Amino acid sequence: MKIKAFDKKIYLSSPTMHGDEAKYMMEAYETNWMSTVGKNIDEIERQFAELIGVKYAVALGCGTAALHLATKLAGEKLYGRPEPGKGTLFGHKVFATDMTFDASVNPVAYEDGEAIFIDTEYDTWNLDPEALQKAVEMYPDVHLLVMVHLYGTPGKVAQIRKICDEHQILIIEDAAESLGARYKLDGEWRETGSLGDYNCISFNGNKIITGSTGGMFLSNSKEDADKVRKWSTQSRENAPWYQHVELGYNYRMSNVIAGVVRGQIPYLNEHLSQKKAIYERYCDGFKDLPVHMNPFDPVNSEPNFWLSCLIINEEAMCRQIRDDYKAIYDPEPGKSCPTQILETLAEYNAEGRPIWKPMHAQPIYRKNRFITVNGDGRNQDGILDVGMDIFHRGLCLPSDNKMTPDQQDQIIEIVKSCFI
């Protein structure tokens, strides 16, 4: 197959509109509900509570806002309301997924807590329950965990839950990337976004369905949902004037954005099957290459296949060096590396992305503790650091649901050409 550059860029994962979105946005406009209240918000909260299988959903400006308020709720529940000027996690440590987008864990810092990063496992590329077990032995006073389902692949929820239940640890579930993914817990299929004590999803422009932005807090607790609703609208008390007892935020979703989300909901299943088809086509296309696709547990989970990723077998990696800002590599026959593949895709006008660089390796979190299956992951030479290994050898492939099979076949050929 002769490969030529794509005329129109192939994206990693871009928004896909269908028409209903404009109808609901216009409805907000024509009825003058250009506000943070309105029918679109009511509707998506009702529909998502039903879809995810929780009692309450609160629509917010973004997934990060949902995570922040979830973190604050957990902090208040564990440690009470803080004194003015201090976050709810002041003086406390929190276990957190290491290989993720920083939005998962920044709210711990917003609330003045200290994240302890837990290493990743190879089976699903999520938080490793074995490393978590080590961490609870080392830090028995920690009572909160932030858990993520990376790239739409559910983590080892049953094992993680068991450890957390045994040690009275509350779970914040970051399902920002995994809307539509399911996990079998205690023999029952459950949607991600319903598996933690506090649950969050995102409608960011690159997610499986989008509002252009937006997020949601999901819960079975009316008290928690009411608290999030109140905090997200500046914490007004029930008084004839603006009365404030608690710190507030302007985090509520706009009724216009909610219109976009509302118009996308009927297309969630279509997007899910498109993403799955893309993943399967890559699996087939790469079967003769020294690579593996991002793995999942086919018995206990059903990913949403938001991003298709690959990892290069160790022996097929050419030399690649990354510092904090740049990467270089030495091309070698029969071998490749993520930098070469990403640069080659870009030459052909296609967008890939590196794996999330682990949080413990980020300058902002370099002083935070990092726990692996072998214990303390800092200051030990030669320690197994799974997250950095996946970051080093892995990459996210173009996973746009508008990519045609022919275009995907070209992407596959481009990747193959890197191993010649």
Q: For residue 350, count CB atoms less than 10 angstroms from its CB and return exposed for 0-12, middle for 13-18, buried for 19 or more.
A: buried
Q: Which of residues 340 and 368 has its CB atom nearest to ligand PLP in the complex?
A: 368
Q: Are 89 and 231 in contact (CB under 8 A)?
A: no
**What minimum distance in Å lies between the beta carbon of 109 and ligand PLP?**
14
Q: Enumerate binding residues for ligand PLP (CB under 6 A).
A: 62-64, 100-101, 103-104, 148, 174, 176-177, 202, 204, 215
Provide the minimum distance between the beta carbon of 48 and ligand PLP in the complex, in angstroms, as a whole number.
14
**Number of Cβ within a 10 Å radius of residue 343:** 14
- Calculated CA dihedral for residues 249, 250, 255, 256, nearest 10 degrees: -140
Measured in degrees and rounded to the nearest 5, phi and psi for residue 191 equal -75, 140
Residue type, 123: D
Q: Please identify, using beta-carbon distances, which residue of 25 and 201 lies nearer to ligand PLP.
A: 201
Q: Which two tokens stand for residue 174?
A: 């970051």
Kindly state the smallest distance separating residue 295's Cβ from ligand PLP, in Å: 18
Sign of the alpha-carbon dihedral angle for 19, 21, 27, 29:
negative
Question: C-beta of 159: minimal distance to ligand PLP in Å?
Answer: 20
Give the sheet arrangement for strand 114-118, strand by strand.
56-60, 215-219, 198-202, 170-174, 144-148, 93-97, 114-118, 370-372, 375-376
**Closer to ligand PLP at the Cβ: 177 or 297?**
177
Distance in Å, CB of 76 to ligand PLP, minimum: 21
Q: How far is the CB of 237 from ligand PLP (least distance, A)?
A: 28
**Residue with the CB atom nearest ligand PLP in the bound state:** 63
**Rounded least distance, CB 40 to ligand PLP, Å:** 17
Give the nearest distance from C-beta 123 to ligand PLP in angstroms. Answer: 19
Contact 187, 214 (CB under 8 A): no
- Cβ closest to ligand PLP, residue 157 vs residue 337: 157
Q: What is the DSSP string of 1-32?
A: ------SSPBPSS-----SHHHHHHHHHHHTT
Q: Decide whether 88 or 204 has the Cβ nearer to ligand PLP.
A: 204
Kindly state the smallest distance separating residue 83's Cβ from ligand PLP, in Å: 28
Instruction: Give whichever of 21 and 177 is closer to ligand PLP, judged by the CB atom.
Output: 177
Closer CB to ligand PLP, residue 102 or residue 332?
A: 102
Nearest CB to ligand PLP, comparing residues 205 and 405:
205
- For the chain, state the CA radius of gyration: 22
Long-range contacts of 350-354 (CB under 8 A, 24+ apart): 350/6, 350/9, 350/10, 350/398, 350/411, 350/414, 351/9, 351/10, 351/11, 351/12, 351/398, 352/12, 352/395, 352/396, 352/397, 352/398, 353/12, 353/307, 353/395, 353/396, 354/391, 354/394, 354/395, 354/396
| Residue 291 backbone dihedrals phi, psi, to 5 degrees | -140, 165
